[in-house]
Amino acid sequence: MRHGFSGNRFGRNQTLRKATVRDLCKAVLYHQQISTTRAKATEARKLVDKLITMGKENTLAAKRRAFAILCDHGLVSSLFNVIAPRFKNRQGGYTRIIKFALNRRGDNAEMVILELTEKDLSAVKPVESSAEAVQDAKGGVEDAEVVEEKSAEKKTKPAKKAAPKAAPKAAKKVAKGKDKKAA
Q: Do the Cβ atoms of 54 and 66 come closer than 8 Å?
A: yes
**Across all residues in the chain, what is the average pLDDT?**
81
How many domains are there within the chain? 1
**Stretch 141-164: mean pLDDT:** 51
Q: Report the percentage of the chain scoring pLDDT > 70.
A: 67
CATH number at residue 60: 3.90.1030.10
1 within some domain? no
40 within some domain? yes
98 within some domain? yes
Q: In what order do the strands lie in the sheet with 111-116?
A: 33-37, 111-116, 95-99
Query: How many CB atoms are closer than 10 A to CB 71?
Result: 11
What is the per-residue pLDDT across 94-140, written as a single tens digit (0 to 9) for each?
999 999 999 999 999 999 999 999 988 776 555 455 455 445 544 54
**Residues of the domain holding 82:** 14-116
pLDDT at 111: 97
**Stretch 18-41: mean pLDDT:** 97
pLDDT at 37: 97
pTM of the prediction?
0.66
170 within some domain? no
**Stretch 26-54: mean pLDDT:** 97
164 within some domain? no
178 within some domain? no
pLDDT at 6: 87
**Stretch 167-180: mean pLDDT:** 59
130 within some domain? no
Q: Show Cβ contacts of residue 26 under 8 Å, excluding neighbours closer than 6 positions.
A: 70, 72, 75
